[in-house]
Amino acid sequence: MFSFNYAEGATTFSVWGIWFVVFGGLFLFNELSRRLKWVGFFSFIILPVILSILWATILREVTYTD
């Protein structure tokens, strides 16, 4: 079974706290992209283009590209 490897000094509370912060951020970003046209355009057009370029150039050595 899969288990997480926590960094030294990380507590269960801090790990769960980060999960909730990330979940809340994704929820908020989803609501903003749904309600505001320019945020939706950024989310589905601009951000994927920028991340694709980064993934193919700068991050080639640290990401899985096979």
Task: Assign 3-class secondary structure to 30-46.
Answer: HHHHHHCHHHHHHHHHH
Tokens of 47: 């951000």
Residue with tokens 């991050």: 59
User: Which amino acid is located at 63 in the chain?
Assistant: T
Query: Is the model's pTM score more than 0.85?
Result: no
User: Which amino acid is located at 32 in the chain?
Assistant: L
What is the full per-residue pLDDT of the chain (66 aa) written as tens digits? 666 677 777 888 888 899 999 999 999 999 999 999 999 999 889 999 999 999 888 888 876 666
